[in-house]
Each structure stands twice: as C-alpha cells, then as structure tokens.
Structure 1
Amino acid sequence: MLFDINGGELLVILLVAVIVIGPSRLPRYAEQLARLTKQARHFLQDARSRVDSELGDEVKDIDWEALDPRRYDPRRIVREALLDPEPGAASRGAATARASSAATTASAAAGASRLPGTAPPPAPPAPFDDEAT
C-alpha cells in the first residue's frame, strides 16, 4: 500500500475532511482529487512508455529485482567470495605448503646452531615503495 493506512485511519481522515471542508464543498474537492489521480496515472504511463522507447530492447532483459538494494546482503557476498575456490588455488596451496615446510626446516636448522639464550639475527627491513604513497 502506498501510505500504509489501515481502514480505521482512512475513516478518521475522511471524517476530518468532511468536517474541515464541509459538505457543500466536498463534491467539488472529490472531483478535483479524481481528476488529479487520473492525470498522475496518465503521466506515469506516458513516462514509462517513453523510457521503454528511448532505452530500446537491450534494457528489457534486465532483471531489476536482482539489482534491488534491499536484497543486498554484505554477509552473503563475503561468504560467497571466501568459499568460492579460485582457479589454480589447488596448485598454489600445494606450493604454499611446500614453502612453509621448507621455512620450518630452515628455521629449525638455524635455531639448532644458535646458542641457548642468544637472540635471533635481526630480520631484514620490510620492502618500501616510495611511489606507492
């Protein structure tokens, strides 16, 4: 419904309109309201037909309900993005597993050669790209 008015509220509005406008002027205002409603309906139909004719046939296949912002759910979008496997993810996963096992082996070998209680060697500085900022 346009204004979300139930029957009781509509009855109260009509009663107030009869009291404020008066029974002598009420038919004239009702006639003007009917004419205004018909003009609005004609305007909307004309605008809809003009939009359809100007945009052409390529727009007729668009699913407008899918583009409704009320259907936008960021949780669903993130969930689908995280759960969808990327192409080549299996080969990258195997390469990452091999690299992490090699790094664990190398760190274990480096830790064995260090004396207990000594600090590990300092890590190299993080790469900096001055063009990125």
Structure 2
Amino acid sequence: MFDINGWEVIVLAIVGILVLGPERLPEYAAKLADLVRQVRGLAQNARTQLKEQMGPDFDDVDWKQYDPRQYDPRRIVREALMDEPSPSDEPVEPMDKPQSGSMAPVPQPLHDSAKPTPWDADAT
C-alpha cells in the first residue's frame, strides 16, 4: 500500500524512537494501531453498504477493466499500428482519375518562404 521496504521501516522506527522517546512511544504506537483498525472498519463498512445498495447485478462486474493503469498509450498505438488492415480498411481509389498521358496537378506550397510568416496578435 505505501510501498515501504525494510530499511525504510527501520529508519522510521529509529526516528520515532528519537523524536518521541521511549516513554511516549508505546502510547503513540497503540493510538496508531487503533487508528488503523478504525480505518479498516470504515472501509469494510463502506464496501458492505455499497454492495447492499447496488444489488446483485454488480457482483459480476469486472472492475479491473476500468483500472486506468492498464491504458498504456504506447501499447495502444503499437497494437493499432501492428494490426493488419481489414478489407474495409483498404484505400478507396478516387473517382476522378487522370487520364493516361495527362499529368496530375502539382500541389502548391502553403507558404512562400520569401514572405514573412503570417501571425495573429490576438492568438498569441
């Protein structure tokens, strides 16, 4: 839950001993244990109440599919690019084909590099 390893627990215990002192440490440890029990009880009561209110229809819902951690944009893009195109994804040929012997029109550049770049003062 908190992702604390063994060394961090030891360091926290030493800091707790130094800050609180050996006289007050057992008292605060008991208060912390009571707080953890209360929070667990509240969470269990909320879970039970939610199940009662939502009814049996929501018992079979796969909640893991709604976990946002499973949505990796890199994986989604990779899967989309690696998929083989289906027949409906085939490129559609344009209706107005140039006749054989005629040349297709050459696209004109959108901006002349000799002119300054246009810009809008209200947009910046």
For residues 6-45 of structure 1, the aligned pairs below 5 Å read 6-45=5-44
Q: How many matched pairs?
A: 101
CA distance in 2, matches of 1:26, 1:3: 22
Whole-Å separation in 1 of the counterparts to 2:45 and 2:21: 35
Look up the match of 2:76.
Answer: 76
Instruction: Please provide the CA RMSD for this pair.
Output: 3.1
Shift of 1:76: 2.5
Query: Paired residue for 1:117?
Result: none
Could you tell me which amino acid in structure 2 is paired with residue 108 of structure 1? Q
Superposition deviation, residue 58 in structure 1? 1.6
TM-score (norm 1): 0.60
Structural mapping, 1:1-133, within 5 Å: 2-74=1-73, 76=76, 79=80, 83=84, 85=86, 89=88, 96=92, 100=94, 103-104=96-97, 107-108=98-99, 111=102
User: What's 2:113 paired with?
Assistant: none
Q: Give the gaps of 5 or more residues in structure 1.
A: 112-119, 121-133
Aligned residues: percent identity? 36
- In structure 2, the gaps of 5 or more residues are 106-124
Higher helix share: 1
TM-score, length-normalised on structure 2?
Answer: 0.64
